[in-house]
Amino acid sequence: MLNAESNRLEYKRELNDKLERSVVAFLNTSEGGLLYIGVEDDGKPFGVPNIDLVQRQIVDRIKDGISPSALGLYDVAVEKVDGIAVIKVIVSSGTEKPYYLRSQGRSEKGCFIRVGNSVQPMTTQMIDDLFSRHRAVSLGNIPAPRKELTFEQLEIYYQAKKLKLNDRFKTSLELLTPDGGDNFVGYMLADENGVSIKVAKYAGTNKVDLIENYEYGYCCLITATKKVLDRMEVENRTFAKITPKTRIEKQMVDSTALKEAVINAIVHNDYSRNAVPTVEIFSDRITITSYGGLPEGLSRESFFACCSMPRNRELMRVFRDVGLVEQLGSGMGRILNAYDKSVFEFKGNFLIVTFQFAEGFDVAINDTNVANGTNGTNDGANGTDDGTDDGTNDGTNGTNDGTNDILNAFRENSRITLDGVAAITGLSRRTIVREVDTLKASGKLIRIGSTRSGHWEVCISE
């Protein structure tokens, strides 16, 4: 049984003609809300007959019956309550208020808002006030700075999810301006663009000594995001603590929280000001910065309550389609599951997330050879290895036993992690990362799928 109805929670025993009204009210409310279909007013589950059909009907009615477009601002999912399947519609607060019933227009008969646990029509004054305050620049209305865009990478990601981009995909994904040209969202998702995500690594706790500087971009934003996540997987090494009874291993940063923070920064960044997200890796922390701060109308209290108000709803929709984002607001929940609110800092127009490295842990045995805060000196590069000078190294030339050991590890277990390869081969993680990059560049090793659920393929015979 669910909680009682509230300003963020509404139940319907069955799908009726008031669906659009309820969704409009949540879109116009600062915190959004949850609408359950198949639940009695007292919170007891009733169930939904032909649940797949009803889900499709809900999606079609929201898409066709509400203006401005709500695509990217809602999710429709199945949830079990006391063992009974019901439908949950998750609605974010919109950034283009007021939303209204398309059939009634922007009027008292078309605009609604939540008041307590009820849906109430908005007054003309409320409608005018909301409309006059609406000054957000939508990426969907900004023309692409380049013509003749191609979307081969985006098509591959959709195909991997068993989805197909038809001839009208630019319209269905809202990648066109009102006059029919490519918009800035389409530009960022195209195979070539001028958008990149910065990743910088420093030797110490400040920005004085830059070790490495990466730019992931100038390609489909999905591809760039995956490359940043791959880099975070490499950098987020495993640390260890030896106790009298056992050895405890822990990553520098909670990997789930790190992934969600990176994706949130990319999806919610304000690209209209030519600002891009940045990731900075220091000797004691990882910092992720996005531009734009909180969307207008979303309070810090609502933010920490995991209320979602996507700044770039078109991007949010595509990221959900390809599996980088799950339900709206779920990413914040995963971060706050692992860390408290203090990891977030609001500084002017910037939102900064800082993850301190795990305390009380030393670098794990397999990582003890990693060069810490050095530039140009590592374990086994340039013909010198860790403590020996006999001209051999641990797998950097691509032709010695270290390389073969790495390839054999991937052959035996295609889903093995880099830490797993380190444990099997005895090589340092930095060496493995360098060697894997070389093998990938030569086409001898291919990564198939995502960092979480994908696998490796070795493309040369033994």
| Shared domain check, 334 and 209 | yes
**Confidence class of residue 3 from pLDDT cuts 50, 70 and 90?**
confident
Residue 243 counted as domain residue = yes
Q: Which of 309, 324, 356 is the last residue of a domain?
A: 356
Pairing of strands 100-101, 66-67: antiparallel
Domain boundary among 135, 169, 204: 135
Q: For residues 19 and 129, state if they share a domain.
A: yes
Residue 204 lies in a domain: yes
Distance CA 98, CA 128 (A): 9
How far apart, in whole angstroms, are the C-alpha atoms of residue 215 and residue 196?
A: 6
Looking at residue 414, its pLDDT comes to 83
Q: Does 271 share its domain with 403?
A: no
61 band by pLDDT with thresholds 50, 70 and 90: very high
- Rounded distance between C-alpha atoms, residue 202 and residue 212, angstroms: 7
Evaluate whether 50 touches 38 at the Cβ level (below 8 Å): no
pLDDT tens for 348-367 read 889 999 999 987 665 443 34
Count of domains observed in the chain? 4
Residue 4 lies in a domain: no
pLDDT-derived band of residue 372, with 50, 70 and 90 as boundaries?
A: very low
Domain boundary among 170, 189, 208: 189
Whole-number Cα distances in Å, 314 to 30, 173, 185, 268: 19, 7, 7, 11
Where does the pLDDT of residue 462 fall: very low under 50, low under 70, confident under 90, or very high at 90 and above?
low
* Residue 126 and residue 72 share a domain: yes
Q: Which domain holds residue 201?
A: 196-356
Reduced to 3 states (helix: H, G, I; strand: E, B; else coil), residue 239 is: strand
Q: Tell me, yes or no, whether 292 and 225 share the same domain.
A: yes
- Computed over every residue of the chain, the mean pLDDT equals 84
pLDDT tens, 231-266?
999 889 877 777 777 777 778 899 999 999 999 999
Q: What is the rounded distance in angstroms from the CA atom of residue 287 to the CA atom of residue 262?
A: 10
Q: Could you read off the pLDDT of 9-24 as tens digits, one per residue?
A: 999 999 999 999 999 9
pLDDT at 48: 94
> 63-87 pLDDT, tens per residue?
999 999 898 899 999 999 999 999 9
pLDDT average, residue stretch 139-144: 90
Give exposure, 366-382, as e/b (b: 16+ Cβ within 10 Å). Answer: bbebbbeeeeeebbbee
pLDDT score recorded for residue 401: 67
| Cβ pair 319, 265 in contact under 8 A | no
- Would residue 368 count as lying in a domain? no
Within-domain flag for 3: no
- Does 239 lie in the same domain as 182? no
Q: What CATH number has the domain bearing residue 383?
A: 1.10.10.10
Query: Is the domain of 334 the same as that of 263?
Result: yes
CA distance 151 to 386: 45
Please give the model's pTM, rounded to 2 decimal places.
0.67
pLDDT at 254: 93
Mean pLDDT of 325-332: 82
pLDDT for residue 191: 95
Examine the domain organization and report whether 144 and 255 are in the same domain. no
pLDDT band for position 413 (cuts 50, 70, 90)? confident
Residues 131 and 269 in one domain: no
How would residue 98 be classed by pLDDT, with cut points 50, 70 and 90?
very high
Q: Are residues 216 and 295 in the same domain?
A: yes
What is the CB-side half-sphere exposure of residue 297 using CA atoms within 13 A? 23
Least confident of 143-157, 318-332, 439-453: 439-453
The per-residue pLDDT for range 160-173, each reduced to its tens digit, is 999 989 989 999 99
> Residues 5, 6, 8, 10: is their CA dihedral positive or negative?
positive
Q: How many CB atoms lie within 10 A of CB 391?
A: 8
Same domain, 162 and 220: no
The model's pLDDT over 426-443, given as tens digits with 9 standing for 90+, comes to 787 778 888 888 888 787
- Distance between CA 354 and CA 344 in Å, rounded? 7
pLDDT tops 80 at residue 424: no
CATH code, domain with 240: 3.30.565.60
pLDDT at residue 373 in the model: 33
Query: Is residue 382 one of the residues assigned to a domain?
Result: yes
**Distance set, CA 318 to CA 170, 321, 433 (Å):** 12, 5, 30
Does residue 27 have a pLDDT over 50?
yes
pLDDT tens for 259-293 read 999 999 999 999 988 889 999 999 899 999 999 88
Mean pLDDT of 108-134: 89
211 and 122 in one domain? no
Contact 239, 358 (CB under 8 A): yes
Assigned domain for 336 exists: yes
- Domain assignment present for residue 173? The answer is yes
Residue 423 banded pLDDT, cuts 50, 70, 90: low
pLDDT value at position 131?
82
The mean per-residue pLDDT over the stretch 341-349 comes to: 92
Q: For residue 375, is pLDDT > 80?
A: no
